[in-house]
């Protein structure tokens, strides 16, 4: 008899525990489903708003500089491929930082002569080398394209 009571209490405890867990987890699942639905609705609204803004920008009388594309050429090609990639990345990053204020400006009011003045003669250090920059090409459109040549600066021997 004691075994039957113990088994009955065990089964009763398991059922009560399962019911309690089901209630708690069910509530959490309901909350997560509501949050997911709210986030999906918000995402849809933001996508719609983004599309409307893009369309308004297309209709705008004066196009804007939307993005920067920096192309880097190295005058000297005696670098290992990983050095070459690291150097290009460092130069692209610095030039992008310098030209970042041009993003969002109207193309009609953008003076292309200003861009070489910002870049030319500046020096960038990457992978232990110093490079002097020279602008070779500037294409002004919604994507501002700047081609820069990185010229190694000879290092002076230490005395």
Residue 26 included in any domain: yes
Report pLDDT for 7: 83
Residue 159 included in any domain: no
Residue 158 included in any domain: no
Same domain, 134 and 78: yes
Report pLDDT for 141: 87
Q: Strand order of the sheet with strand 129-139? A: 67-74, 143-152, 129-139, 123-126
Residue 141 included in any domain: yes
Closest residue by Cα to residue 100 from 72, 133, 125, 67: 67
Same domain, 29 and 74: no
Same domain, 40 and 72: no
Same domain, 55 and 72: no
**In terms of residue numbers, what domain contains 115?**
67-152
Report pLDDT for 94: 93
Q: How far apart are CA 66 and CA 54, in angstroms?
A: 11
Same domain, 114 and 142: yes
Write down the pTM of the prediction: 0.59
User: Tokens representing 126?
Assistant: 């990457």
Report the helix count and the strand count for the chain, using DSSP H and E. 3, 4
3-state class of 131 per DSSP?
A: strand
Q: How far apart are CA 43 and CA 55, in angstroms?
A: 18
Same domain, 46 and 92: no
Same domain, 72 and 147: yes
Report the domain count for the chain. 2
Report pLDDT for 157: 57
Same domain, 72 and 124: yes
List of the chain residues with pLDDT < 50: none
């Amino acid at each position: 008899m004691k075994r039957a009571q113990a088994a009955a209490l065990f089964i009763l405890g398991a059922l009560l525990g399962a019911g309690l867990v089901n209630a708690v987890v069910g509530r959490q699942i309901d909350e997560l489903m509501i949050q997911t639905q709210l986030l999906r609705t918000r995402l849809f609204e933001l996508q719609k708003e983004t599309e409307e803004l893009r369309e308004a920008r297309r209709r705008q009388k004066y196009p804007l500089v939307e993005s920067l594309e920096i192309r880097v050429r190295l005058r000297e090609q005696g670098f290992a491929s990983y050095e070459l990639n690291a150097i290009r990345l460092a130069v692209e990053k610095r030039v992008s930082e310098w030209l970042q204020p041009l993003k969002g400006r109207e193309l009609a009011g953008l003076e292309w002569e200003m861009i070489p003045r910002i870049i030319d003669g500046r020096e960038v250090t990457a992978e232990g080398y110093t490079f002097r920059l020279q602008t070779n090409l500037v294409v002004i459109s919604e994507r501002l394209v700047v081609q820069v040549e990185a010229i190694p600066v000879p290092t002076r021997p230490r005395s």
